[in-house]
Amino acid sequence: MFALNLANAQRTHMNLNRRKLLSWFGLGWLASLLPSSLIGCSEATPNVSTPASAPESVAAAPSGNFKEIGTVAQLDKDKVLVSSDKKIVVVRNPNDATKVLAVNATCTHKGCTVAWKSANKEFVCPCHDAKFAADGAVRQGPAHKPLQRYTAKIVDTKVLVST
Ligand code: FES
């Protein structure tokens, strides 16, 4: 009889401990949510998707990182403009002479520097004779990839390229 009472008392005690433990975990779980809830309501949270701010940022954004490569007079005289670091080449667009095209002069085959041949209106690589159109498209291998292209424009008397 005594042993039975002792077993019941132990079971009751264990049930109490289990309840305490569950209530502590319950509170801990609730407490873990508290900081993120506070952050979610904080005024410090940046509001990045407000439509009202979009026109301001677009208006304030620069219109591109254009730099002058040369003048229109130089381009028309030499039929080609080359940047001071020899990496960018600008020519008139053969399909629309009012526009200009700019490409990276580094051949996509093995990295030699291509040269503009105005008679055929194409870039030719001196190393393995690859040929590229004015817009950088491959005309003849061994190169498979086009020359890297840049945005170019004429503004007044200047030729500008964005890299
Ligand atoms: Fe230009 Fe080979 S490096 S064709």
Q: Could you report the per-residue pLDDT of 127-148, keeping only the tens digit for each?
A: 999 999 999 999 999 999 999 9
Dist CA 150 CA 102 (whole Å): 5
What separation in Å is there between the alpha carbon of 163 and the centre of ligand 1?
A: 23
pLDDT of residue 140: 96
Amino acid at 54: A
Ligand 1 centroid to Cα of residue 77, in Å, is 28
Domain-wise residue ranges, the chain: 1-42, 66-162
CATH entry 2.102.10.10 includes domain 66-162 = yes
Q: Select from 104, 114, 122, 128 the residue to mutate for testing ligand 1; criterion: most ligand atoms less than 8 Å from CB.
A: 128
Residue nearest to ligand 1 atom 3, measured at CA = 110
Q: What is the pLDDT of residues 45-67, one digit of tens each?
A: 333 333 333 333 333 334 568 99
Residue 163's pLDDT is 84
In the reported structure, the alpha carbon of residue 51 is separated from the centroid of ligand 1 by a whole-number distance in angstroms of 49
